[in-house]
Amino acid sequence: MDLSIVVPIFNESDNLPILCERVTAALAESGIGYEVILVDDGSTDGSFEIMKGMALADRRWKVIRFRRNFGQTAAMAAGFSAASGRVVIPMDGDLQNDPADIPMLLAKIDEGYDVVSGWRMNRQDTFSRRLPSVLANRLISRLTSVHLHDYGCTLKAYRREVLDGINLYGEMHRFVPALASQIGARVAELPVRHHPRLHGTSKYGLSRTMRVVLDLMTVMFLLSYSTKPIQLFGKWGIYSFFAGTLSGAITLYMKLFEHTSMNRNPLLILTAFLLFMGVQFIALGLLGELNARTYYEAQGKPIYAVRETINVDREA
């Protein structure tokens, strides 16, 4: 199988027939062997019945139905797990992504890239949605050092082996390029078309923005300290110890030479607090090291990623 297209669906009954027509038309003359995996994320508007009919009419269309709404990231994770193509392309089911861009993404993958991210250069959304997106993309690019204009664009292309090493939680589907870059994936970006929503309502809101910010904090930790948490917590523990020792020395000096009562000196409380925090940070770092080792060793998961091998008999 050359290509797997993964489409999370939540209450898109009006858009599904058009989506089927556009995907079929976009790939009809390409000669590409493909499958389309529709993930019903707890729809209540009859979307599942339409998807079921599409799957019965064409075996290339496959359906996964959730018991309830689990969110877009969970829907993508389910689709990625079921995908059998050498390249996996997720896209939205609201017709704002254009299936006609898929061959262009595949051509870029064939140039040797592992991830190709779509960029909605002429985004057809309201200003109230575009402005937070621009600011978030700049922040994410700066913090992750993977510079993309549009992390939020669902239309992306991934090599199968890149996704195999990434587990998704929360709202982390948008950070896959950054997580893939951590294991050495080559990331590119291409402008793609973006259409106004014709039917249904947007599922995005302020609450999702807050979740994205929290997930960005998680991604930053994973990118920098997932295999070495002591480097983060231990560093702050040393800083706290140093500051506590300095505060204690000043407190002692004030007692011996300025005859300041220690039990009335707030620096004594600060000294105890900083030394205690130093112990807590270092202990937290050590516990993190134990958890990291348990996680990698229990799953037999390596702390590295191999692109290819030559004349190597034993698997690296």
Q: Tell me the pLDDT tens digit for each residue of 254-294.
A: 988 888 888 788 999 999 999 999 999 999 999 988 888 88
In whole angstroms, give the CA distance from residue 49 to residue 55: 10
Which has the closest alpha carbon to 41: 87, 95, 97, 92?
Answer: 92
* Rounded mean pLDDT, 293-308: 73
Report the distance separating Cα 166 and Cα 168, nearest Å.
Answer: 7
| Rounded mean pLDDT, 68-96 | 94
Which residue type does 50 have? Answer: I
pLDDT (tens digit, 9 = 90+) per residue, 10-25? Answer: 999 999 999 999 999 9
Q: What is the mean pLDDT of residues 154-178?
A: 89
What whole-number distance in Å separates Cα of residue 27 and Cα of residue 243? 64
Exposure string for 186-216, b = 16+ CB within 10 A, e = fewer: bbbbbebbbeeeeebeebeeeeeeeebeebb
Distance CA 195, CA 216 (A): 27
- Selection from 120, 92, 61, 119 nearest residue 198 by Cα: 92
pLDDT score at 148 = 93
Tens digits of residue pLDDT in 137-164: 888 898 888 999 999 899 999 999 999 8
Q: What does pTM read for this prediction?
A: 0.77
Give the pLDDT mean for 56-62: 95
Q: Are 219 and 172 in contact (CB under 8 A)?
A: yes
d(CA 277, CA 313): 50
Could you write out the DSSP letters of every residue in 219-265?
HHHHHHHTT-THHHHHHHHHHHHHHHHHHHHHHHHHHHHS---GGG-
Say how far apart CA 8 and CA 249 lie, in whole Å: 60
